[in-house]
Structure 1
């Protein structure tokens, strides 16, 4: 059953004529007539009696009218809620990102364009997983084809950081063998699949870590306290009090990041504005590292 057919039925029932119904619906009179015939064919019932004064509901049409009005009310409620959701996006767009890009975006919140607000959540956070689906996701490496509308936004530079005492008067950047001999701060075993962890494992082999932790901000605090060395994003390490860059930028860890927006929201102004802001944050960080 076609919603356009039902709308035509309601319009003719309200106005009493095909001509007035066509004006109300902003379609041609033959189009209204075609919708009425289609609905009568689907139902197998005549819905109007036609005479020179117009169209009057048959007994069957009169019985169906309250039901069709209820359908109209439901459809209008759905449309209103959809409009409210779009208006809500003009205020808040949820962005999901892993720890490094989330930290980079948090630094750039002061440059967010006027209009939309951002709700920034960490990927894999069990508290937010049960909440509403994010409008935008920042992914590491190219997302699968068909996942949504995508924009490549660049990469995040990273390097090894530690206290100046770990350089021990040697020229920087340190040689690979010198780096391998230092006390390392690494992620926990459950995060062994992280690309940074794989790089560290290749560097130090089966040497035990000085400490393991689950978050980069914990590592940064430990580096600042002189507890060991760690791989940190450069935008964090370069600003770290007491921290010193001990290695070149690690090219093997500079995989691209991508913005993925839900396809049905591709034309939403707030979503597009926030996606553009994310790209700008990454671009400005890359320019600062040059």
Structure 2
């Protein structure tokens, strides 16, 4: 009886998704290739693993194999991690990142990740956290660095340091209160910071508060520096603007809530690179936060 890791991966993907097409997308294979691997595995074991009449539902034998297959792949992952050479691992690693992280410690993270896995090809997708969450569940990215945690039993969340929010204005702007009428420049409309800030402004300042959302945090700081409004933005991203005197902090008596981030990934038997990448992200982010 002989079977391969690729056959077990195909089996688990179909068992998890209940669909050959979705499994093929997850594994970056064609549907015939996934089907062939399942049939070859069934031939090697001498049993049917799926009930084809019930949307690829595992048979009794298939259900029994799931636990063994996960252990087998996990053991292979541990051998690669603890015995194999990290610099020998070569694959495509897809990272989804919130712009807040792009503007802060992403370069240091990629540098450290590549130092440990130099043959890794890294693909970076920058988007809002809601979209990154969707892409993670669609297996379009391997690791999401986003506003979290993601509350789902399938997801592992590694906590990252919070981003403190504060108020900024141009030195030429005398506004000292968000209720004074100047537009509030902040995160994009379809984000958690925008929603929370809008709710708080409505409660504290009434319906007259005006918000200018932007999908670019760099654009937010440039608009604030130009005196076009006040900013509700992460403090750690303002260093260059504060040092150059283009913006200054001010205190209206309250600040928006801190932003919580996580390194999130789908739990799976083989997550050696992904799990290690999440640990590296936590290490790099913590060092950046202390500086």
Structure 2 length-normalised TM: 0.55
> Could you say which residue in structure 2 is the equivalent of 1:247?
251
> Could you say which residue in structure 2 is the equivalent of 1:272?
275
Cα distance in 1, alignment partners of residues 3 and 263 from structure 2: 41
- Where does structure 2 lack aligned partners over 5 or more consecutive residues? 5-42, 49-72, 78-85
Cα distance in 2, alignment partners of residues 252 and 210 from structure 1: 14
Q: 1:191 Cα shift?
A: 5.5
Query: Quick check: 205-214 or 238-247, which moved more?
Result: 205-214
Q: 1:6 Cα shift?
A: 8.6
Distance 1:279 1:163, change over 3 A: same
> Could you say which residue in structure 2 is the equivalent of 1:232?
233
Question: Which one has a bigger Cα radius of gyration?
Answer: 1
Cα distance in 2, alignment partners of residues 182 and 88 from structure 1: 58
> Could you say which residue in structure 2 is the equivalent of 1:213?
214
Cα distance in 2, alignment partners of residues 142 and 201 from structure 1: 26
- Where does structure 1 lack aligned partners over 5 or more consecutive residues? 8-35, 44-78, 169-173
Cα distance in 2, alignment partners of residues 6 and 259 from structure 1: 34
The answer (yes or no) to whether the contact 1:237–1:244 under 8 Å persists in 2 is no
Cα distance in 1, alignment partners of residues 92 and 105 from structure 2: 15
> Could you say which residue in structure 1 is the equivalent of 2:150?
143
Which residue, 137, 156, 160 being the options, matches 2:167?
A: 160
Distance 1:92 1:239, change over 3 A: farther
Cα distance in 2, alignment partners of residues 249 and 165 from structure 1: 21
Q: Secondary structure at the match of 1:166?
A: coil
Cα distance in 2, alignment partners of residues 263 and 6 from structure 1: 24
> Could you say which residue in structure 1 is the equivalent of 2:203?
202
- The reply on whether 1:100 has 2:100 as its aligned counterpart is yes
The answer (yes or no) to whether the contact 2:232–2:256 under 8 Å persists in 1 is no
